[in-house]
């Protein structure tokens, strides 16, 4: 069983780790993920790579959106 994140304080890295480990993303996590990414202004190269990994996993079907 995977530990659930406390979303308001979760970093992009923590969110991505959870998404890739469970191969699922809920609408709630998706919304928080986008808010976190967009609220940071300037993303680091490492954060952009992590975000790209999630989008690629979604595109290729490795991660599913669930409700």
8 falls in which pLDDT band (50, 70, 90)? low
Mind listing the pLDDT tens digit for each residue in 47-64? Answer: 999 999 999 999 999 999
pLDDT over 70 at 4, yes or no: no
Residues 6 or more apart whose CB falls under 8 angstroms from that of 64 comprise 23, 24, 25
Question: pTM for this one?
Answer: 0.80
Mind listing the pLDDT tens digit for each residue in 12-37? Answer: 999 999 999 999 999 999 999 999 88
The pLDDT assigned to 46 comes to 95
Cβ distance 5 to 15 under 8 Å?
yes
Distance in angstroms (rounded) separating the CA atoms of residues 61 and 37: 22
């Amino acid at each position: 069983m995977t530990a659930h994140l406390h979303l308001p304080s979760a970093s992009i890295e923590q969110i991505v780790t959870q998404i890739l480990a469970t191969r699922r993303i809920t609408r709630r996590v998706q919304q928080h993920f986008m808010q976190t990414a967009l609220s940071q202004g300037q993303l680091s190269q490492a954060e952009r790579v992590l975000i790209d990994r999630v989008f690629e996993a979604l595109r290729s079907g490795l991660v599913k959106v669930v409700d």
